[in-house]
Structure formats: C-alpha cells, structure tokens
Homo-oligomer: A and B are copies of this chain.
C-alpha cells in the first residue's frame, strides 16, 4: 500500500482509481492501509498462546487452518515443521484440545490414509512445511506442502471455507479428506457420501472435551473427480455383490459394501483423484453444520455461490476492516500490529453456531430455530467475563446481546437448569469454576446492551446460583464458604461465587428485588470467611470451620490453577473490603509488592514465555486484575510500572508474543483495555480502573454511535506515569473512569511523564465499586 500512496501525486485519475480501490478494501481513509493489514494471525502460535493462524471471518462459524504434527490444543504449533493438513474448525487460544474437524490435504503420488506414525511423522499423508513458504494474513493462509510440491491457500467467509490447491503435473494428484482427524480425541462414528461427481457430504460424532459433538460438512470441488475412492479402516471400499454386505466384510484387502459412493464407520477417508498439469488449480469449498448435511450444503451455497477465491478473501478482509475500525489507534507499525492483532483475536470467539436456515443444535441435542437472536457457541466464560465480554459490551453490543440470548437458550436447554460454565458447541464441558455467565449478563445490562429480557436473564442467574447439585453451592449458601473437605478448589470457588453473587445482587436491586438483593449481598461477603488474618491469605476452610492445615500459600491446594499467593487478591467487587482485611492500604500494597518481588532476580525467560513476574502469573486469568489493585489502593504509579512491563514483554507482533493461552480472546482483551489506559476490574460495576495507557491516541467507536477518544500526551517508553488526567474537559483525579463519563462519547487525556506523580489518583482510597 505504500507504493500506491506514492502514486497519488500524479493525477486525478489515479486518485479516483485509488479511492475506489480503497473503498473496495474497506479502508476509511485512502492514505492509510486497511486496518486488516495489521493483523498478524501467527501471533500466539508458538509457546503458550495457542491461537491458530488460519483464516476466519469475525465471530465466524468456520475456522479452517493448518494442523501440525505435535497435536497442539488448537491444531497448529509454529515450532512444528510437519503439517497434517487443514481442518475446518479450531478453538482460539484454549488450554485444552477440541475441534479440528474434517481435515483436507492435497498431494501427488501414491496417497496414504493416515497422517503418519509417531516415530515417522512423514510416513503418512503429512508433509513438511517451511515458514519461508508460509503466509498468514487476515482471511488468508498460504503454505507450500513440500512433500508434494503443492501450494495450498485458504480463505473463509462466515460459514464456509475456500481451499485453493496449486498442483504440479501429475497423473496421481489427489485431495484427501480425513473424517477421523480431530484434535486429540475420538471419532466415534462417521459417514461420507458422494452426492455427485464434484460434491461430497459427511458427518462425524466426536467424543471429546465436548462429550457428544455431532458435526456435518459439505464440500464442492471446482473440478469433477477423475476418480474417487472411499477408504475405511485403511481399506478401499469397493463394490460387493454379496447379501448382508453393509457390514464391513474384509475380502482381499478391501471392504465390500454394496455402494462405493457412501460408507459409514469410525475411520473413513475420502479421496478425490485427478490428473493435473503444472500449476493446475483445483479449489474446494467446505461448510459445516451441526444440524445436517443438507444444512451444510445450504450454508455452503448461501455463503459461497461462486469460486472467486480473491473475492472471498477481500470480503473477509473488509469485514475485519469494519470490526477493527471500532477502535482506531495511532502508533508505530509494531504497536498497530500488536493492537489490531489483539483486537482480531478478541473478535473471533464466541462463534456463530447457527445455519443460514436459523437452525442450530441446542444443548439438549435438539435442533432449535433461533427466534429473535443469532446463536453463538464456545463460551470460555471463566476467562472471557473479565475483559473480553466487557469489551464486546462497548463495541459489539448487538452481538453481546445475541451471546446473552444464546446463553439463556443454553439455560433453557440444560438438564441441570444451569447457565453455561464453559460451553462448546451444544455441550457443557464443565471446565473451570463459578457461574460467570452472570457477570457477562450483568455487565451487559448495566452497560446498556439492549436486546435481551432482563427478567428472564435474572431468573436464569438466580436459579443457577441456587442449584442444589453444582459444586457445593448448598454448603456455600449455608456455611458462607465452600468447605475444603467436601470440594476441590474451595478457596477459588468461594471467592468467585462471592463476586458472581455481588453481580446478581446488583441486578436484583435494579429490578426491585430487595429480598434477593440482601440474600446475594450476604453471599457476596463470603470472601471474608476464608481470609485468614494470621497468615494473611485466603485459605481453605473445612465444613466444621477449621483452616486447611498445614498451609502453604505457594501450594496448589484449594485453588484453581494457582496458589493462594495468586488467588488472595480476588475480591473485584469489594476492593476496600479486601484492603481492610489486609489491615489497610499500606499493608495491602506491601503485600502486593511482595507478589511481584520474591527477592529473586527476574527470570526473563519465565516472564516472556509464561508471564511470571515473581509470583504474579499474567499467563493465567486469575492474575489479570491484580496489577490494577495498586490503582485502587491509591498507587497508580506502581500499576503503571507493572502494566508497561507486561505490555512490552508479554505482547507483541511475533508468533511467540503471547505469554499465556489467549483463551478465546481474554489475554488479548486485557491488552486492549490496558493499552487504552483503563480496565474493567469489576465487570457489572460502574467503574473502570485507570492504569497507564500504552498508546498515544485511540478512538473508541461505541455501539451506540458515540465516540470516546483517549489521548496520552507525551507518552514514550520512559514517560509511562500519569501526571494528570483531563476527562471530558475536567481535571480528573480519581483512579476510576466511570461508565457514565464514557457512554455518551467524549475524551480522556492522559498527561504522561517520566516520574510518578504520586499525588494523582489517591483520593478514592480503594472505592472501586459503589
């Protein structure tokens, strides 16, 4: 695009030409490259990030992408030079395996029907790849399959993927579909069916992290098959004329079915075979559906009625331009790549999970028609309630409302009458703890997200919080804490329930339910019951009220993915109360300092790879609010130092840049808020906590049409400390940014300097919420 800019000076004609080009590419201003150009899909694909580099539309239903040999949680490991092929679905940034449905790979020569053995990963259909022959951009992925001299390119629309393969000359060219391929888990059953000489459909049932996942696909090929073959358990499916021939009877090395056009079983592959000339292009378009093969075909034909690869790619880029323009920043190339890639990662999940017909598979495995909302799936709520959904509430309000409605549908379909915990495509994975659909709903409600029924949502939240079976809720309700002798991770559960209950209480109050408000506010105070003043930590307590003994705050006991050192800061809804438990602000800050400073020298490797600063662990979500507690306690300058440290060392534009699982966008959303200078420490509350901006300027285009502008005057690598703040033209001294000051648009100006102004932001003394 820089070449194009230089052309602008010549003539008016060129200007018009460029204006058209620029509109076509979705850039608002012809002088800037389109925002999607800053997307670096490889960020987070090496190390702990677990993102995947394949193309996707914003919140798209299909995520085609490369799966490497090592079996990374989300399919691809940038450090792995062996590629199995391209599967159609991927999670983004999770710390556990699932999806990876329906792998496609193209090659030449004798085809193989398994990816390769552990010892010899290239003994099957897998191929070597090189990053020198790999491109990953918004809506586009390209790589050379070195073993076959085949180039593969991928793009995706909302519900369909388009694969472009460029072949060498061969009498044995092929495109293989492996229905048995998923990431890590088991394909229980599958079928495949040749619909016509250039169309197939298929299905598989996967017992994975999602315990029962039914998925269909449809694929159309730009060139009719020269020949085709179905392979079952490694044997070609051939015509068999015997009676009772549907059962897999192996005869002469082949499986004798009556039909060679369809087969069913647990291990199926389909092979499209061609003769190719050099540089012959064969494309495959693929769509999925959780409802039926028929719907997969409908999704395919509705989304991709043509074969124009570049058009699909351009349209998807335009969608990204549109989404990314919701926060428009100024900064260096690296800052823009880092920021817009973070925003890209934040706007992939939750994913559309509804066919063009409006049908979707519900948690009850019935097929439902979405009425009055669009259904989304994949709710990594323990992660995303923190910053991802608060971000969506600001800039993606209509979608956030759809997501709330999707969660309410899940509740309606739940045998347990529970809102989602960690839901994955018509399944509850029961991963992690708490009931964090609650803060998502309550934050959306108080942030003015329209389009869901607050009363219905409230009843779902209350019923969830009163569930008689879930994770010791009755004990918690009765005792005031989750007893460590009856329940694992009892400290974390107590703390997170208390916060969720505070959220319910706020909404109860707003809806005039005073009794409920009191009930849930009582529960919101439960955190106090597990604070041990002797050790100064949150500590397991058993059902008789005795502390967990022996106790080690560095032990992984009674705590979810961490230690008491990390979890003892978790009272987002009552930071003054927490500070009081620690004996006041000074003690609190002293303890907070100890979290980061263990006395040992910083281990840069541990910091950059895993996000560890002392005992602080940015690589996992329980720490995400912790730095901001400095601000709440009146020492914003200490927050500034740590925030800039994390931003610089644990984010960036490289494959290794993410220090922890992106977790469906939460790691990235933390960055986005932090770079803008404020953070939703307590979703559901009025206030964001002010940190320290990492960008010179940003325009936030809210979903209500208003624009809120952030400017960080004098910001530099050294000028990271707030000297003063001007909010909507007023001098602003509180370390909080109220939603009320933001929602109608306006501006915040941070005046930055190289030394802390220790007097700024002290006045609230920890009143984070009101």
B430 contacts A209, C-beta separation under 8 Å = no
A534 contacts the other chain (CB 8 A): no
In the complex, what distance in Å separates the CA atom of A211 from the CA atom of B265?
9
B264 contacts A212, C-beta separation under 8 Å = yes
Query: CB within 8 A of A191: which of B193, B194, B212?
Result: B212
A365 contacts B191, C-beta separation under 8 Å = yes
Which of these binds chain B: A112-120, A240-248, A451-459?
A: A240-248
In the complex, what distance in Å separates the CA atom of A660 from the CA atom of B175?
50
A686 contacts the other chain (CB 8 A): no
Query: CB within 8 A of A293: which of B211, B364, B416?
Result: B364
In the bound complex, residues from chain B placing their C-beta under 8 Å from that of A260 are 469
A472 contacts the other chain (CB 8 A): yes
Least Cβ–Cβ distance between A479 and chain B, in angstroms: 16
Report if A193-B415 is in contact (Cβ < 8 Å); known contacts: A205-B205, A246-B428. yes
Interface string of A25-67 (1 = CB under 8 A from B): 0000000000000000000000000000000000000000000
In the bound complex, residues from chain B placing their C-beta under 8 Å from that of A641 are none
Interface string of A381-421 (1 = CB under 8 A from B): 00000000000000000000000000000000001100001
Closest Cβ neighbor of A96 among chain B residues: B244
B191 contacts A188, C-beta separation under 8 Å = no
In the bound complex, residues from chain B placing their C-beta under 8 Å from that of A247 are 209, 211
B246 contacts A366, C-beta separation under 8 Å = no
Indicate how many identical chains form the complex: 2
Interface string of A359-391 (1 = CB under 8 A from B): 000001111000000000000000000000000
A203 contacts the other chain (CB 8 A): yes
Interface residues in A565-598 by Cβ distance below 8 A to B read none
In the bound complex, residues from chain B placing their C-beta under 8 Å from that of A193 are 364, 415
In the complex, what distance in Å separates the CA atom of A431 from the CA atom of B240?
12
Interface residues in A253-280 by Cβ distance below 8 A to B read 257-262, 264, 266
In the bound complex, residues from chain B placing their C-beta under 8 Å from that of A264 are 207, 211-212
A244 contacts B431, C-beta separation under 8 Å = yes
B189 contacts A292, C-beta separation under 8 Å = no
Query: CB within 8 A of A472: which of B241, B262, B292?
Result: B241
A205 contacts B191, C-beta separation under 8 Å = no
In the bound complex, residues from chain B placing their C-beta under 8 Å from that of A421 are 258
Least Cβ–Cβ distance between A287 and chain B, in angstroms: 15
In the bound complex, residues from chain B placing their C-beta under 8 Å from that of A201 are 364
A294 contacts the other chain (CB 8 A): yes
In the bound complex, residues from chain B placing their C-beta under 8 Å from that of A431 are 243-244
Least Cβ–Cβ distance between A237 and chain B, in angstroms: 12
A432 contacts the other chain (CB 8 A): yes
Least Cβ–Cβ distance between A137 and chain B, in angstroms: 35
In the bound complex, residues from chain B placing their C-beta under 8 Å from that of A195 are 415
In the complex, what distance in Å separates the CA atom of A80 from the CA atom of B585?
82
Least Cβ–Cβ distance between A474 and chain B, in angstroms: 12
Given contacts A241-B488, A244-B431, 8 further A-B contacts (CB under 8 A): A189-B207, A191-B212, A210-B246, A239-B469, A241-B487, A258-B428, A292-B367, A294-B367
